[in-house]
Amino acid sequence: MGRPTKSFPSTSSSPRPSSCGDNAREAGNVPGQRTSTAITAVCTTAMGVNISNTTAVAIALPTIGIDPGIQQDQLQWLTNAYALSSQCGCLLLMFGRIADVYGRKKTFLGGALWLFAFALGCAFVNDSLTLMLLRGLQGAGGAAIIPAALGILADTFPPSRARSIAFATFSAGAPAGGTLGTIVGGALTQYTSNTWRAAFYFLAALAGLCFFGGLYAIRRDPPSQEKDRRVDWLGSIVVTAGLTFILFILAQGEVAQPKQWGTPYIIALLIIGVFLIAVFLAWQHFLECIQDDPNAPHCVWTPPPLMRPLLFARARGRYGVRMAVAFLNRCAFLSWQFWAQLFNQEAQYGPMLAAVRFIPIFAASILCNVLVAFSIALVSTVWLMTFGTLITSTAAFAAKRCTEPLASPPPPSTFVIGADFFFAGGTLFIAEILRPNEQSVCGGLYDSGRSCFSLVLARADAPPAGHLRWHRRLDGSLYV
């Protein structure tokens, strides 16, 4: 797996738990190949289900806008509401902590069941406000299953080639789920009588499959080694409110009336959101100091922090650096994704034809993760992440030429290849440096850091669709 990362002693007064591989060996409970394969398949399916809940709905947005009568400038909230709670950090940290201390299997199954119930509920909704509300609540299920799945994989596989293959397979679940949701969602929307409602039936079936697979394959949760199993509910509320306000104004700023970004409530919510994030960081630092000081008084109001700020200094600061690079890498990918959606809308492709255009991206992504799985023993995760960043930056630079009449856009697969190399290398790196009782919460932190703040920059950089002017080249292709 490349050069192993040096481990650093805990600053906490409690003894450091043994590694997950040692725990399994001591208990004589190392899973067999069939069990390991089943666990990997279930966790990969969970990743696919989470992404499918965005892409299957995104491809059906024009049809959804016609049926319940949602205005064009509000349609994106059907995907934004889900992403806000499932992928953007609002609940990932909290559910990561819950999974680490109360059980990853319980959290995983609860999240899958939650996804099933709300996907089914969305299929029967007849008004836009209820549909948006249910989509926001549905995202809580995605926020529960992803950190739990990361912790389950790290706990199941000790450092080995099998772990590399498992995490590469898990990473492949994102493009596989995205493509599956796009293709099946597009086909159901275009060719069935239930149109967009059939897409939600499909998502409910996927969540049910994930639940029963987890019930069968995932082993019973071992007893938690945490001495203090409390959850920082106050910090969870503060960070959730802060991120919600910030992401809301980024999505709503361009259409707010009467002054867009200068509208008073937009300015007020931005100030409140930034203030709450600053309060959250200060509160986490305070709790970290309390937990690390054996002489400090402990009370019911000082639980362990959701996120230790000193975590970013782990592995000689490499964790923090890679989080920053992951943020920039994700920014480029989400910006491309935004422009790709606008392109498909302008070209007026039907749901099925737009979905078919994503098949090469799926194939490139699967090939990328296969290469990662079989090369990780020979190549350090540093080089994987470096290569992914270079590919993404090159594609982003080439994409800028799409504004020129005679330029050809880069192949869309280049963005996906770069993002997949980086994500696969990043998850393996995190699994190496973290302690067993940190795997879920820090996996959630990594995913929320990539998705949330990069979504902020991507939304801030993106002009409103109505302000774009598209033109056609001589060969019929579009440019801005």
pLDDT digits (tens, 9 = 90+) for 355-373: 677 777 777 777 777 787 7
Span 251-264, average pLDDT: 77
Distance CA 434, CA 10 (A): 11
Q: How many residues does the chain have?
A: 480
CA dist 407 to 49, 395, 397, Å? 37, 13, 12
Q: How many CB atoms lie within 10 A of CB 475?
A: 7
DSSP state of 462: P
Please name every residue paired with 471 in a beta bridge, in sequence order, or none if there are none: 479
Which pLDDT score is estimated for 30? 53
Evaluate whether 93 touches 181 at the Cβ level (below 8 Å): no
Q: Which of 275, 345, 334, 279 is nearest to 460 (CA)?
A: 334
Summarised one tens digit per residue, pLDDT across range 64-73 is 877 766 766 6
Structure tokens at 352: 């099925």
Mean pLDDT of the chain: 75
Place of tokens 């205005």: 71
The residue that leads in pLDDT, 193 or 40, is 40
Please name every residue paired with 472 in a beta bridge, in sequence order, or none if there are none: 478
Interacting residues of 294 by C-beta distance below 8 A, sequence separation 6+? 13
Q: With cut-offs at 50, 70 and 90, classify the pLDDT of residue 201.
A: very high
Span 252-277, average pLDDT: 84
The residue that leads in pLDDT, 198 or 421, is 198
Q: What is the CATH number of domain 30-231+306-471?
A: 1.20.1250.20
Distance CA 297, CA 302 (A): 9
Distance CA 82, CA 287 (A): 30
Q: Which amino acid does the sequence have at 130?
A: T
The domain locations on the chain are 30-231+306-471, 232-305
Q: With cut-offs at 50, 70 and 90, classify the pLDDT of residue 402.
A: low
Structure tokens at 303: 């639980």
The pTM score is: 0.75
Summarised one tens digit per residue, pLDDT across range 294-333 is 777 777 788 888 777 777 777 777 777 777 777 777 777 7
Summarised one tens digit per residue, pLDDT across range 416-450 is 777 777 777 777 777 676 666 666 666 666 665 55
Distance CA 153, CA 147 (A): 10
Half-sphere exposure (CA, 13 Å, Cβ side) for 349? Answer: 19
CA dist 138 to 120, 205, 361, Å? 10, 14, 27
